[in-house]
A and B are shown apart, each in its own frame.
Chain A
Amino acid sequence: MARRSIARRLASASAAIALTATFGIQPALGKGGPASTVIDVQVTDSSGLVLAGSRVMLSVMWPTEQHWNANGRTHGRQARTDSTGRAQFRLKLALEERLALIDNGDWLNLQLMAFDERGLPAGAFNFSRYFGNDPRQTELAEPTTQAGRLIAIRADGTVADRSVAGARQAAAPLTASDVGTCYYWYWERYSTDWAYTRTGELHSAADTIDADFLYGTSSDATIDVGFKSGTGPWQISGTAHSGESITTVHGLNKASNFHWGVIVPFNYVLLFLYKDCTLQQHVYAGQQQVEENGYHIQSGLSYSIQMSQPARNTSHPEWALRSGPDTSYMRETNKFKKFTGAVSIWGASLGAQSGSSQFVRMYWRWGHAQTWHYLYGNGYHPNSAPVIYASNS
């Protein structure tokens, strides 16, 4: 890849900077869980040219309300890309980060932010990594986050969004001359709320005694992260994984002829980006983020949006699975369908996808009024289908 001055290129690109980053991660397992890891990053622009000398920051995003309460703000590590656009974060997890990892089912939610030559955020990307040893979780890791597109951040120097930040900032937008050189950036919690989030579909045909979508003793979902710069629109800046453990199993338990979307309660947090500068500390930078903040344990699963299902394609018997009278079937592998617009919160519309794992199971138990009970996928065997449909013919 050709090398070019980041200063010249970013200055000319203004607000339309598109960056990509590739990641390599090598967890180093220590006693009691991973203590350190190495995250290799390479930042390129949209044409594939490496960005040399770019400042990048990696932040561990707290997974639950409890961790935001304990830590208050994110702690970012900063590095500068070399002549090949690469930077390496030797991430030795602090105690609070290890606790966050453990409380999130060994999943770590991270954000990479790249800065332009003026020291302003130019791109951001949220992703998660699994550090445990359970192959059922490893297979849920999102391969697309091995290389991600950093969404462009409007870095025009007008950092204040008075309409949203309210009393937290000065009446007029702050400029560089007001704050001096900014050297440290961090996210702080502004608000929290919970919302039902669509993560699955449950279909059952006649002669079904139990049709269950079970969200078990841990949540297991990958949910989009919303990012907003200034008065711009919400964009999706990547994903975060919810793996919080709880003590109660929640399920949606229905019987025959049920065809509905499954909704799972999650907490969400609205974050504001702040910076510390030479002339002023704790300056709102103008960026906001919405991401999942754990499992909302007080509310069980529910359902919304009645679904239809495609008729079973009898010319593809390999997509169907038959079970006899008084039998049952349970699956706990692969992932379910990703639903766009799975939740709307603070104006951000986020997609969500549930794992199908030891924590999230689908289960059917049938009666004996029918000989054959079909489960089928639309183009898939039910063992791996993103949505499993049910019929008796």
Chain B
Amino acid sequence: MKRTWAAGAFTALAAVAGVVLAAIALRSEPADSTYFGPFDSVAVTSPARPGERVYVGVDPVEVKPGDRVRFVSIDGGPAVTRGLAAALTRTPGAIAVLREKDLGPQELDSYQALPTGDWSAADGPIGLVIEVVMPSATTTITRPELMFVVNQGPPQRIHFPVAARLCLPPPDGPATCDPPAPPH
């Protein structure tokens, strides 16, 4: 009886401690950086076959005069394999959503994979793209997170209010790939 009571007390204590720790973890989650932005909310869709690479663009960013910015990583979930960055003036235009087969000739050559080198204001608007490998079923990427560093300072992060839904083409997927709600 005593052991049961002790076990119950321990479980309750652990549960309380878990809640407290979770609350602390939530509160200590750093806020998004305001270095770039504000950003615009968009949603895109594209068909894709399993294993196919799809490129989804997020809002362009610009480095402030005198600063050096390095893009470290981008996280959009397990389907996102890497992030890419390019000075948009050196591309055929920003990417909303393009499958690998629809990219321009050597288009990815204009891009640097993250982590990148330093960028400056002279680069103008910088297009950031996430590379997604289509899984076996419809997938939605929401609010990808970019980690970056300004003037070799501490890492900063932002979430882009972008959602991308990749659907299997008919007949395996829907006739129309309905867009997700643009996130904020």
Which residues of chain A are within 8 angstroms of B89 by Cβ–Cβ distance? 316-318
Which residues of chain B are within 8 angstroms of A361 by Cβ–Cβ distance? 182
CB–CB B93/A320 < 8 A: yes
Stretch in A151-159, A293-301, A324-332, A338-346 with 4+ CB within 8 Å of B: A324-332
* Cβ-defined partner of A333 (8 Å) among B40, B95, B99: B40
Bound Cα distance from A317 to B94, whole angstroms: 7
Residue of A nearest to B58 (CB): A383
Which residues of chain B are within 8 angstroms of A358 by Cβ–Cβ distance? 181
Which residues of chain B are within 8 angstroms of A135 by Cβ–Cβ distance? 184
CB–CB A326/B46 < 8 A: yes
Q: Cβ of A96 < 8 Å from any Cβ of B?
A: no
Output the least CB separation between A382 and chain B (Å).
Answer: 8
Give B145-184 interface residues, CB cut-off 8 Å to A: 161, 169, 176-177, 179, 181-182, 184
Q: Cβ of B63 < 8 Å from any Cβ of A?
A: no
Residue of A nearest to B166 (CB): A327
Q: Cβ of B38 < 8 Å from any Cβ of A?
A: yes
* Cβ-defined partner of B161 (8 Å) among A320, A326, A333, A371: A333
Output the least CB separation between A148 and chain B (Å).
Answer: 25
CB–CB A334/B47 < 8 A: no
* Cβ-defined partner of B96 (8 Å) among A323, A325, A365: A323
Q: Cβ of B59 < 8 Å from any Cβ of A?
A: yes
Q: Cβ of B124 < 8 Å from any Cβ of A?
A: yes
CB–CB A322/B98 < 8 A: yes
Known: A324-B97, A327-B46, A330-B44. A372 touches B102 (CB 8 A): yes
CB–CB B182/A320 < 8 A: no
Q: Cβ of B45 < 8 Å from any Cβ of A?
A: yes
- Please, what's the 1-or-0 string for B20-31, where 1 marks a CB less than 8 Å from any CB in chain A? 000000000000
Q: Cβ of B60 < 8 Å from any Cβ of A?
A: yes
Residue of B nearest to A363 (CB): B179
Output the least CB separation between B49 and chain A (Å).
Answer: 12
CB–CB A333/B41 < 8 A: yes
Which residues of chain A are within 8 angstroms of B60 by Cβ–Cβ distance? 318, 381
* Cβ-defined partner of A320 (8 Å) among B94, B97, B179: B94
Give B31-51 interface residues, CB cut-off 8 Å to A: 38-47
Give B76-125 interface residues, CB cut-off 8 Å to A: 88-89, 91-99, 102, 124-125
* Cβ-defined partner of A330 (8 Å) among B38, B59, B169, B179: B179
Output the least CB separation between B53 and chain A (Å).
Answer: 12
CB–CB A321/B93 < 8 A: yes
Which residues of chain A are within 8 angstroms of B39 by Cβ–Cβ distance? 333, 383
CB–CB B124/A318 < 8 A: yes
Which residues of chain A are within 8 angstroms of B179 by Cβ–Cβ distance? 328, 330, 363
CB–CB B93/A374 < 8 A: yes
Bound Cα distance from A293 to B44, whole angstroms: 35
CB–CB A330/B42 < 8 A: yes
Known: A332-B182, A381-B60. A318 touches B94 (CB 8 A): yes
Known: A327-B44, A331-B42, A365-B176. A321 touches B124 (CB 8 A): no
Bound Cα distance from A316 to B127, whole angstroms: 13
Output the least CB separation between A358 and chain B (Å).
Answer: 8
Residue of B nearest to A383 (CB): B40
CB–CB A322/B96 < 8 A: yes
- Please, what's the 1-or-0 string for A347-378, where 1 marks a CB less than 8 Å from any CB in chain B? 00000000000100101010000011011100
Residue of B nearest to A320 (CB): B93
CB–CB A318/B38 < 8 A: no
Residue of B nearest to A333 (CB): B40
CB–CB A330/B43 < 8 A: yes
* Cβ-defined partner of B88 (8 Å) among A318, A331, A334: A318
Bound Cα distance from A325 to B46, whole angstroms: 8
Q: Cβ of A78 < 8 Å from any Cβ of B?
A: no
Q: Cβ of A253 < 8 Å from any Cβ of B?
A: no
Residue of A nearest to B103 (CB): A324
- Selected A-B contacts with CB under 8 Å, 27 pairs: A139-B38, A316-B89, A317-B92, A318-B60, A320-B94, A321-B93, A321-B94, A322-B98, A323-B44, A324-B97, A324-B98, A324-B102, A326-B177, A328-B45, A329-B96, A329-B97, A330-B44, A330-B179, A331-B40, A332-B42, A333-B39, A333-B42, A365-B176, A372-B93, A375-B96, A381-B40, A384-B40
| Known A136-B41, A332-B41, A372-B93; 4 more pairs at CB < 8 Å | A322-B94, A328-B179, A383-B40, A383-B59
